[in-house]
Structure 1
């Protein structure tokens, strides 16, 4: 257990450095990171759910959807990504209904596709995108790390014993508290002030992150998989490492789009809308 924890810490630090360097660089460097994560997520999703075994043609269509979306993300065509994703989802639903195929195909297209889209949209090419992405990272990482240590230190009632027996309510609450603190700290470091919306946003992203963790645990338990893959020492697969980040990014993109629509601010950057600027 001690060796596994050491591997987790070392791998986590390396991955965090890579993510932060790409985030700092922005532009194509971060878009490439977002695309690589999305493609690896789809690869692990299709492997866990056995899509290639159950429906080879459907899985090939799923890969086509991810390659097209990856190309759009790399070209910076953010206004096209969600409509194209929606088109692929509709087509996949039609395929599933006609061929009585697996609904996990549709789920994989949405899950992996939105991963790349949301990450790239949050970071964008402006300085505020850098702050917004670091804000999301801070909330997710603080939630993940402190939920683990607080849960082990305090213990208590299980959060979702049938899905993830190791998670406790104390860990979930502790992770959320520290996630809010981390998010507020990042915001205040840039803007020197904060309103009630920011800690509420951080809490929403923290809870979303923990839901994402439980969602991935549910999928693995559903298909009898211990890890989503073996690419990351001490962590397993990419999905094992980014499950919380994925759902937090989904939630952040949702908040930003709702804000943009409510304000009628067409063309506003996602990062700025997310942080209420």
Structure 2
């Protein structure tokens, strides 16, 4: 009996170690990302390009196309050319490169084309949206940090509320660990982020609360989407590149969805180089 009671100890120890790894990785990666976002320009574009290529490679690994040489070459070259174009403010050619690359995969991919094509589209969306939102010289950095903090708030609030409260599952067939309590906790912390920006004078309270609610919800849907893709192919983590978090896809799934929607919202209210203003000024 004593052995049975002692059995859960290694599991608890492993969970504690994993949590510490998550915290340590976040304490390094989050300030680094914000610092590079502050610098902007070529530094942010270079980081975005490298991350987008990483996202694409992880996607191919999940869907079983990582050994398709033509897919690898077309996808990585597309993202590289797109990133370089955006780095030098050539938005039109960058968009054209992304479109041609996605079209090329749709025609040439040997693996199931819908998955390889959608993977490149996903990575290109992350790259383009991340750079476009930062282009605004006055509001770009603030808007980007707002999106990042909303997504991080959604993740952190969901993690702690889900673990401490538990309760009914959100979508057990897709993500068995996510709960409604976690979803609400993530939403609440994201709303506090929006409120904090408003109180700091970066915008009006009601619009920023609405924006935080929408982006938090979309972020959580992006997380569920990535979980559904992994479950479809029987994969637990997209990779193990980030200690305690898994892969880039595991860490950035919510961000990709949120920043893409943020750019669309900003575009409806501003110009291509005024997306940040469109988000922050109502």
**Structure 1 runs not aligned, ≥5 long:** 261-265
Structure 2 counterpart of 1:246, from 256, 259, 265: 256
TM-aligned CA deviation for residue 150 of structure 1 = 0.7
Residues in 2 aligned to 1:252 and 1:165: alpha-carbon distance in whole angstroms: 28
Deviation at 1:61, TM superposition (A): 1.7
2:132 aligned with 1:132:
no
Q: CA contact under 8 A between 1:147 and 1:171: conserved in structure 2? A: yes
Q: Distance in 2 between matches of 1:116 and 1:125?
A: 16
Deviation at 1:149, TM superposition (A): 0.4
In the comparison of the two structures, how many residue pairs are matched?
Answer: 268
Contact kept in structure 2, 1:51 and 1:102, CA below 8 Å: no
User: Which residue of 1 is the match for residue 157 of structure 2?
Assistant: 146
> 2:199 pairs with 176, 188, 196, which one?
188
Deviation for aligned residue 1:176: 0.8
* TM-score, structure 1 normalization: 0.90
Query: Residue 175 of structure 1: which of 186, 191, 204 is its match?
Result: 186
2:103 and 2:267 map into 1 onto residues whose CA distance is: 21
Which stretch of structure 1 is more off in the superposition, 174-183 or 57-66?
57-66
Choose 1 or 2 for highest CA Rg.
2
CA 276–80 in structure 1, closer or farther in 2 if over 3 Å, else same = farther
Q: Which runs of 5+ in 2 are unaligned?
A: 1-14
Aligned residue in 1 for 2:279: 274
TM-score (norm 2): 0.88
CA RMSD of aligned residues (A): 1.9
Cα separation, partners in 2 of 1:38 and 1:187, compared to 1, 3 Å: farther
Matches of 1:26 and 1:268 in 2, distance apart?
14
Structure 2 residue 102 is matched with structure 1 residue 102: no
| Deviation of 1:65 (Å) | 1.5
2:82 and 2:94 in contact (8 A); partners too: yes
Among 17, 20, 38, the alignment partner of 2:34 is: 20
Greater shift in the superposed pair: 16-25 or 63-72: 63-72
CA contact (8 A) 1:35 1:74 kept: no
Alignment of 1:193-204 (within 5 A): 194-204=204-214
Aligned equivalent of 1:69, options 65, 82, 86:
82
Deviation at 1:223, TM superposition (A): 1.5
Cα shift readout 1:161-215 (whole Å, capped 9, x = no counterpart): 0111100011101111211211231243143x51422211111110111011111
Q: 1:53-110 CA deviation, whole Å, 9 max, x = no partner?
A: 3x432332222211211221222323443343233333333345xx684311111111
Does 1:33 find its partner at 2:47? yes
Is residue 158–residue 168 contact of structure 1 (8 Å, CA) maintained in 2? yes
